[in-house]
Amino acid sequence: MPKPLLLQRPSGLYVRFFVPCDLQARWGCRYIVRSLGGARSDHARLAVARLGYALGQAFQESRLLPMADPKDLLQTALAGARSGRDYTLELPNGVKITTDGSEADYIRAKELAVELAAMSAPAAPASLPIGLVSARVQTFISQMKAKDRSATNLLDTTFTLNLFVALIGDKELSAVNTDDLDTFLDALAVWPSNASKKKAYEGLTPREIVAKAKASPDKRLASRTKEKHLDRLRTFFGYCVGRRLLDHNPCTNLGFTNKDQDEAQTRKPFSDADLRQIFDPKNRTDGITQPHKFWAPVFGLYTGARVNEIAQLYVADVEEIDGVWGIHINKRWQGQRLKNASSRRFLPLHPAIIKLGFLDYLADVKEAHFDHLWPGLTWGTNGPGDSIGDWFNRSYLRGTCGIKDPAKTFHSFRHTFASLAERSGVTDQRNARLTGHSSGTSVLRRHYIDPPTLSERVADLAAIKFPFLELNRRPKGFFKPWFKRVKAVESRKSRDQPSPKLGQS
């Protein structure tokens, strides 16, 4: 049953019906618009209800009789909407109207008349169309780009929203209903993992992929992945509600994960045995000649910083303030990003990092005139963190160290740091200042760095009881051969492929 949209025009009220996507080519149009002939109020609603019912029958016949002429079906529908026996229709407001449709027409007209009465008051002007879902999606994505969202976020959001439109068919935003959401959820339930990379689904439309996947033993999407797709759709509809394009979010109360799954940790902290294996000098041999492979795990353990926060550091981000060496985690230079406002902080360096010779390394990097703290590190679409994470998780952790638990990754350093801080008596609020989590109304939310808190951060860091580890240091100048190699590679790069340069973003 097509849903009506009332249109107010100078010549009077009109009604517009959306032609189903699968019939648009045959019918030669996307919409059917008809005048209500001067009808108003309840009489207009009755006329709309009858016409909608008749068109629904015509659309159904068009599918069952593919050779039938759509023009004939349309004329029959219009004629049927004006003929039949008399029935008296009583609306919720007590008004009685005599109809001349069939009994089925009368029943459906009564139902739709009630729906239309709830949609708009008799004295209110008819609502104007708010646009197709696809058009609103394009606007939403454009505004995301204007907010400088990450390329990955844009790519993922675009994929999810385009998938939704492809599954339900493009329609008026206001016409999206629970059936459409059910269609999307049902599709995600059977959607193959990495479908775009599998030849079996190459060239297929989303609907065809869903149909084929239902009979396939291919691995499905993880619950958390499906939840992310739903989160993106929920965000889009929330945006529409905020713009007053919709009066409610159709994704409300929908989800793929239960409470236990939501509360379960997707990453585990490293055990003391794990840490001894990771920092075992036998594993961290002199063959690790790239500075980020040597220093990133050290920074991960003793700072609790996110992998991308460590990877995107510039030489200028390392500073001594009031006799305390630390790193600025901020968005000051080209390519740097912050996860959220609370991520911005000045983080003192643990004595273990200084003891390992980091200041000597810093002097070597400055002497070589590099802007980035880790020269030669590849910067991908998501920043430089992926390069470190991929190496550490796949090659070093799983291969060299033999730690196979999929819940343990580079991000486990962050969990380890937070857990050790908690066990050492560091309060949640002060722990949040170190790790860059939101801490309510703390100073972190109002100031980038407040001098009185610096001594507190140093004390909190010193209070954390890290397990004893046999850390091997690199002597001053150890990484100079690597620096020379990076310089040689950079000199061969074309001008349209420069390495990241220091400067305001």
- Distance from C-alpha of 403 to C-alpha of 474, rounded to nearest angstrom: 25
- Distance from C-alpha of 167 to C-alpha of 134, rounded to nearest angstrom: 12
pLDDT (0 to 100) of residue 318 = 95
> 16 - beta bridge partners?
5, 33
**How far is C-alpha 370 from the chain's CA centre?**
35
| Structure tokens given for 309 | 């926060």
> What b/e readout covers 5-38, taking b as 16+ CB neighbours within 10 angstroms?
bbbeeeeebbbbbbbbeebeeebeeeebebebee
Place of tokens 């802007």: 371
Q: What is the DSSP letter of 392?
A: I
Q: Cβ–Cβ contacts within 10 Å for residue 360, how many?
A: 15
| Structure tokens given for 116 | 């239309």
On whether the CB atoms of residues 486 and 376 are closer than 8 A, the answer is: yes
Which class for 454: exposed (0-12), middle (13-18), buried (19 or more C-beta within 10 A)? middle
Residue 452 one-letter amino acid = P
Detail the DSSP E strand segments found in 298-399: 318-321, 324-329, 345-348
CA dist 412 to 129, 395, 490, Å?
Answer: 50, 16, 33
Axis-axis angle for helices 223-242, 133-146 (nearest 10): 90
DSSP of 36-103: -TT--HHHHHHHHHHHHHHHHHHHHHHHH-TTS-HHHHHHHHHHHTT-S--EEEE-TTS-EEEE-S-H
Picking from 387, 415, 385, 381, the residue whose alpha carbon sits closest to that of residue 313 is 385
| Structure tokens given for 362 | 């810093």
| Structure tokens given for 291 | 């500075």
CATH 1.10.150.130 fits 133-263, yes or no: yes
CA dist 213 to 88, 191, 197, 221, 228, Å?
Answer: 50, 6, 14, 11, 20
Residue 329 one-letter amino acid = I
| Structure tokens given for 167 | 């599954």
Which class for 382: exposed (0-12), middle (13-18), buried (19 or more C-beta within 10 A)? middle
Half-sphere exposure of 238 (CA within 13 A, CB side): 8
- Distance from C-alpha of 336 to C-alpha of 327, rounded to nearest angstrom: 14
CA dist 479 to 295, 390, 482, 499, Å?
Answer: 11, 22, 5, 19
Half-sphere exposure of 184 (CA within 13 A, CB side): 28
> What b/e readout covers 396-428, taking b as 16+ CB neighbours within 10 angstroms?
bbbebbebeeeebbbbbbbbbbbbbbeeeebee
| Structure tokens given for 496 | 């349209």
- CATH entry, 272-492, from 3.40.50.620, 1.10.443.10, 3.40.50.300, 1.20.1050.10: 1.10.443.10
CA dist 499 to 291, 328, 448, 486, 493, Å?
Answer: 17, 21, 29, 10, 9
Please list the pLDDT of the chain residue by residue as tens digits (505 residues): 577 777 777 777 788 888 888 888 887 888 888 877 666 666 777 778 878 878 887 887 777 777 777 777 777 766 666 544 444 444 444 544 444 445 455 555 555 555 555 544 444 344 445 689 999 999 999 999 888 777 778 889 999 999 999 999 999 998 999 899 999 999 999 999 888 888 888 888 999 999 999 888 888 888 888 889 999 999 999 999 998 898 889 988 877 655 444 444 567 899 999 999 999 999 988 778 899 999 999 999 999 999 999 999 999 999 998 889 999 998 888 888 888 777 888 889 999 999 999 999 999 999 999 999 999 998 877 789 889 999 999 999 999 999 999 889 999 999 999 888 888 888 777 777 787 765 544 433 333 445 557 888 888 888 889 988 888 888 999 999 999 999 998 888 755 555 555 554 4
Q: Where are the domains of the chain?
A: 4-119, 133-263, 272-492
CA dist 90 to 96, 99, 418, Å?
Answer: 4, 10, 67
On whether the CB atoms of residues 163 and 14 are closer than 8 A, the answer is: no
| Structure tokens given for 45 | 């609603």
Picking from 403, 412, 374, 368, the residue whose alpha carbon sits closest to that of residue 288 is 374
Q: Cβ–Cβ contacts within 10 Å for residue 288, how many?
A: 16
What pTM, to 2 d.p., does this model score? 0.55
